[in-house]
Amino acid sequence: MLRDSLEWRKRWEVDKLNEWEIPQILKDYLPHGLSGYDKDGAPVIIMPFAGLDLYGILHVVTRREMIKATIKLLEYYLRICKEQSKKYGLEAGQCTVIFDMENFSLREYMWRPAGELVIMLIQMYEANYPEILKICYIINAPKVFSLAFTIAKKFMNEYTLSKIQIYKSDPVKWKTAILQVISEDNLPVYLGGTLMDSDGNSRLTSKICQGGRIPKNLYTKKNDKTNELTTVTIKKGDKLKLDFHLIEVGSLLSWEFHSDDHDIKFGVLKKTNDGFQTDIIPLHKVAAHQFNEVGIVTCEAPAVYSIVFDNSYSLLRNKKVHYCIRILPPAMIDESSLAKS
């Protein structure tokens, strides 16, 4: 493993990254920052994750540049860990991380380039920086986050997973846990601390980049047509069944859809090679005319997965549905192919 990591460092020229300048757009929009140090002296890194606009980022910089920027930041925080360890001992030699998932949306990561990049970064981290993490607090996690984490944790080792604590939008609980490890004078006000900017901003934007949506006028690449929706009209008393043959175990089937004016029944079925059929998601009414419906499932065995839009219960109205179905194979693009590109 050490040999692989050394080869990886050579391939990405990690020791020369100090000479490489992170693109300005990433400096301005990559959400992260060092707020201070925990009670053991370990660096405290805060990531307002909902501010990560991967769709926008990948329309301005290349995937290779994003990976290089991530490596450079990991190396930066690793140097701080080493410095703190010399001063305060081993307990200060790892990072304490807070991921704020407030306003997190799964939709962006169902766009294939974004989903691939996230998994590549997780794999890269696990292969080369697994011991940098002391503890990770994931706070303000909405229900939809559980879907994303179910996928992400498949690429994490047990050591990393043992360091993660997940909290819903319950400030009393997560603030209590965080303040046991980090003192108030090393946290911004909105996380239960006392730090704020000179103008009173409780999010400490002078130290922590909040990210945000990248203006489309800064895009240098055309929109990916795989993000477009297909529109169908499902007649009253009828249904639409879309079959997908997923052969590779670990493939991901994701969907996004909304309807015009009225609800629609939705479900996901699985039929294995021996003809056995199960409901992955039983048919149920979805108020897709009020909110976009998104979801994802993992292929655990070769099977035919069917996405069903059911309007058979409606005797009066046709339903117009706009949908996008994506299949992400388990074989991610090898990041080594990007190192020298």
| Token pair 């697994």 in the structure block, residue | 130
Question: Chain-centre distance of CA 305, in angstroms?
Answer: 24
CA angle 121, 256, 52 (to 5 degrees): 35
Structure tokens at 287: 């108020």
Please give the pLDDT value at position 336: 56
CB atoms inside a 10 Å sphere around CB 286 = 18
CATH fold, domain 229-328, is Jelly Rolls (2.60.120)
Residue 85's pLDDT is 98
Q: 116 or 203: which carries more pLDDT confidence?
A: 203
- 135 vs 28, 132, 156, 243, CA distance in Å? 26, 9, 14, 42
CA 197 and chain centroid, separation: 28
Residue 232, H or E segment: strand 230-234
Residue-wise pLDDT tens digits, 191-225: 999 999 999 999 999 999 999 999 999 998 765 54
Measured between alpha carbons, how far is 128 from 123 in angstroms, rounded to an integer?
9
Lowest mean pLDDT among 67-81, 125-139, 266-280, 322-336: 322-336
pLDDT per position as a tens digit, 147-190: 889 888 888 999 999 999 999 999 999 999 999 999 999 999 99
Amino acid (1-letter code) at residue 113: P
Q: What is the DSSP letter of 295?
A: E
Does residue 143 sit in helix, strand or coil? coil
How confident is the model over 113-131, as a mean pLDDT?
91
Mean pLDDT, the chain, integer: 91
Q: Tell me which H or E stretch contains 134.
A: strand 133-139
Closest CA to 291 of 264, 311, 314: 264
Q: Phi then psi for 170, rounded to 5 degrees?
A: -130, 85
For the whole prediction, is pTM greater than 0.75? yes
Residue 333 confidence (pLDDT)? 47
What percentage of the chain exceeds 90 in pLDDT?
72
Q: In whole angstroms, what separates CA 296 from the centre of its chain?
A: 13
Q: Residue 33 contacts by C-beta under 8 Å, 6 or more apart in sequence?
A: 45, 46, 204, 207, 208, 209
The runs of H, that is alpha helices, within the chain are: 2-11, 24-29, 54-57, 63-88, 112-128, 145-152, 158-162, 171-179, 336-339
What is the Cα–Cα distance from 213 to 215, expressed in whole angstroms? Answer: 6
- The CATH homologous superfamily of the domain defined by 2-220: CRAL-TRIO lipid binding domain (3.40.525.10)
58 neighbors 114 (Cβ within 8 angstroms): yes
Q: How far is CA 51 from the centre of its chain?
A: 11
Start and end residues for every CATH 2.60.120.680 domain found in the chain: 229-328
- If phi > 0 it is left, if psi is from -120 to 50 it is alpha, else beta; for residue 314 that is beta
Among 313, 319, 332, smallest CA distance to 289 is for 319
Task: Tell me how crowded residue 4 is: count the other CB atoms within 10 A of its CB.
Answer: 10
Q: Which residue in the block uniquely carries the two structure tokens 């980090």? A: 182
In tens, the pLDDT along 56-90 reads 999 999 999 999 999 999 999 999 999 999 999 99
pLDDT value for 227: 52
Cα dihedral across residues 306, 312, 314, 320: positive or negative: positive
Render pLDDT for 221-274 as a digit per residue (tens, 0 to 9).
765 544 578 999 999 999 999 999 988 887 888 898 999 999 999 999 999 888
Residue 230 CA neighbour count, 13 Å, CB half = 10
pLDDT for the residue 204: 97
Candidates 206, 220, 214, 215; CA nearest to 51 is 214
pLDDT for the residue 226: 47
Q: What is the pLDDT of residues 5-40, one digit of tens each?
A: 899 999 999 999 999 999 999 999 999 999 999 999
Angle between helices 112-128 and 2-11 (to 10 degrees): 130
88 vs 37, 74, 130, 160, 186, CA distance in Å? Answer: 11, 21, 21, 23, 16
